[in-house]
Amino acid sequence: MDKKLFLIAELDNISQERIKDYYKIILENGIIGNQTKDIPYHITLCSYSIENENNIKILMDELNNKLNKINISFSGFGLFGLNVLFLNPNMNEKIIELYNYFKGNSFDKNNDLAAHVTLLIDEPENILKILPKITGETKAFTGKIETISLYEFFPKRFIHKLDLV
């Protein structure tokens, strides 16, 4: 697998805890999954080739102290095929503006936004096993995007961070 850069919109601590509660249900049912577990819950905004690292850091720095935290609400779950279970954010204008800024100002225009917060990547039988248990616990909530971070994968390397005001 080729290394790539990923620009992610990280959620606030309260949202992190609410989402961890869903993952606890997954663990209590003996499922671990293959998703990346050692980064905060987030929405992936864009991915880039490695050679764009400095350009993306400059774009992030240009927003320093200019971008407010973004409210975002969550009300349900979704699936990508039967291998990915995610928490579904309700899209809003601020998230789309943020996405458009990074897509429009980058050298790599081949990014599409499929906003989601991954909970579990696993075999279909495990997704189908846990789905009714997770969806039965659905409670709508509102959180905030507080940080934009740039990572390289795989292996994971944290590169740069932008705290929203």
**Of 156, 147, 160, 104, the residue nearest 13 (C-alpha):** 147
Can you give the pLDDT at residue 133? Answer: 93
**pLDDT one-digit tens code per residue, 112-152:** 778 899 999 999 999 999 999 998 877 889 999 999 999 99
Can you give the pLDDT at residue 102? Answer: 84
Domains of the chain in sequence order: 4-163 (3.90.1140.10)
Can you give the pLDDT at residue 138? Answer: 75
Compare 156 and 1 and report the one with higher pLDDT. 156
Can you give the pLDDT at residue 12? Answer: 98
Whether residue 110 is predicted with pLDDT greater than 90 in this model: the reply is: no
Average pLDDT, integer, range 91-102: 89
Average pLDDT, integer, range 38-58: 92
Asked if 130 and 85 touch (Cβ cutoff 8 Å), the reply is yes
Two structure tokens written together for 132: 């009714």
Please state, for a pLDDT cut of 90, what percent of the chain lies above it: 75
Can you give the pLDDT at residue 113? Answer: 78
The per-residue pLDDT of the chain, averaged, comes to 91
Going by pLDDT thresholds of 50, 70 and 90, the confidence category of residue 60 is: very high
Asked if 25 and 130 touch (Cβ cutoff 8 Å), the reply is yes
Asked if 106 and 81 touch (Cβ cutoff 8 Å), the reply is no
Whether residue 101 is predicted with pLDDT greater than 90 in this model: the reply is: no
